[in-house]
Amino acid sequence: MRAVVQVGGEGTRLRPLTLTTPKQMLPIAEQAMIERVVGHLAEHGIDDVVLSLGYRPDAFINAYPGGRIGAVKLSYAVEPAPLDTAGAIRFAAGHAGIDETFVVVNGDVLTDSNLTDLVDFHRRAQAEATIELTPVDDPSAYGVVATDDRGRVLAFIEKPPRDEAPSNLINAGTYVLEPSVLRRIPGDQRVSIERQTFPEMVEAGVLYARGSTAYWLDAGTPEAFLRAHRDLVMGERCRPPAPSAHRDTSLGPGVWRIGVVEVDQGARVSRSLLGRGSHVLSEAVVEESVLGAGSVVEEGATIVGSVLLPGARVASRASVEGSIIGLGATVGQRCELRPLSVVGAGVVTASGSLVDGERIDPGS
């Protein structure tokens, strides 16, 4: 079976990290987000994926020069201009010559949903399109879906006020589509599948949906990016945080490592993942965090609930809480980063400074 993975957005919610790296190429617990998405597809028999690209397409093409992620064949459809969700699906499917039932997923959604069951439901219902739904506490930021008892969609309401939402089941960004859906989408123009295509299909009675309680996370914000790491490291997803990660209790309780790492005598590490070649120096504290490959935590520094991307360095006596440190960035001596601070790639923060939930890009 084939799939379209939508990865064309600029990742504005994760800036400044995405100023240099497309969102789906950022590592989640030392594995690129796109590899986690494609790996989930492979678990359900999908062996051919077309990436719908827009922003920085060369980053994807250069990362996988053999045109494969694991056993999954990749092809690339680079939009000549932004086409929105439906337009991008039509363009990518046409580029890849898709002419049978196929799956569409968002490249920034991490999930354990059962795609095999979703495809079976779609075929039993003889649907033209089927949407996976997931429950959320506040549906106002999403597309809310109401269905009848057979799963036929009665209403598709994009981002309703919280007190007016007909349910808490939202569009999870996973679709099973028949090729006939592509004929409903005008070519070479911006078309939203949520605001235009799906509402038209509701009127025709050919749109179905099925709820799922499986793990689901839109990883496209700093809060969610941090949560994705925490869920993997703390065991919320019942699997190792990365394919090559191993538990190593000699380093501390609940600690995972990838390859060779260094933890100096006097350092304290707990409930964390240490990437290949990372180094935690004496008197440093690392809790519930992920240290990317080659990252360094110097003497007496404290890292809590944070992510250091590969090559990052936290200087002596600095404190990082609930924050993300970009590729090759440096947090200066005695600098304090408070929750939801994001330091862009290559940035060096001033020693002794306070960063209170700010985003610091390379141009600052």
**Residue 252, Ramachandran bin (φ over 0: left; ψ between -120 and 50: alpha; else beta):** left
DSSP assignment string, 176-214: EE-GGGGGGS-TTS---IIIIIHHHHHHHT-EEEEE--S
Q: Report helix, strand or coil for 174.
A: strand
The residues, any chain, with a CB within 8 Å of residue 264's CB and separated by 6 or more, are 279, 280, 281, 282, 284
* Alpha helices for the chain (secondary structure H): 33-43, 57-63, 84-96, 115-125, 198-204, 222-233
Measured at the CA of 44, the angle between CA 43 and CA 47, to 5 degrees, comes to 85
State the catalytic residue, choosing from 44, 152, 159, 359: 159
- Catalytic residue check, 73: no
Distance, in Å, from the CA atom of 294 to the CA atom of 315, rounded to the nearest integer, reads 14
- Closest CA relative to residue 324, chosen from 62, 14, 1: 14
CB 266 within 8 A of CB 276: no
The helix/strand/coil state of 34 is: helix
- Give the Cα separation of 187 and 178 in Å (integer): 17
Task: Give the strand pairing for 153-158 and 143-147.
Answer: antiparallel
Angle CA(140)–CA(9)–CA(98) in degrees, nearest 5?
100
Identify whether the C-beta of residue 163 lies closer than 8 Å to the C-beta of residue 144.
no
* Residues annotated as catalytic (active site), given as ranges: 159
